[in-house]
Structure 1
């Protein structure tokens, strides 16, 4: 199942994944005129984006929707690739069976030709 993110604007006071707020502020280089959007999945903050201070909840939601759509599309591609891989494996197995059948038929025909040749019924 595709990852589903939740989003929030960071309050510039709470730790991010255990990183103290002051260290996170320094690390992100966040100016007073900026907000940090955070996407979380499974209880972990995992994607960030810097917005200007005028960014609204609608801007955050649009970003969230975009990221969730990308995650769903990636999951769909992964499922299709897995299905294609399984189909290819089945086709390879079927071709292997056909090769085995043709090899057995070829061997049987070879024996028939040898028997006919030994009986003098096959010209050289």
Structure 2
């Protein structure tokens, strides 16, 4: 995933990382952004207490979100690739909040006969495309 020639962009975020990798928010965010996986890493390097990795399944884009272990809720974000995954996650999380923090029972998935995958909230007319897997 991370290669020597990658030159990630650095930014900061105040979105709590744990809130997007567990519970209803994680379910909603996953349905909004599609083909992404995540992993948690404790003490990955000096000065970083923990890191959340997020990457596309094809490994073309990734983000690492670091916490230094302090009491502040500001995280360092490193992103690389054509997609800005953490920005997508922040937008998906905001969408989830704006829609009343829906649980999994309000989501659906439709696969058409031509192979298109569409996720939706409450009704089919509130749908968005997902990349087809495999």
Which TM-score bucket, shorter chain as reference?
Answer: under 0.3
Rg comparison, structure with higher value: 1
More strand by share: 2
TM superposition score normalised by structure 1: 0.23
More helix by share: 1
TM superposition score normalised by structure 2: 0.22
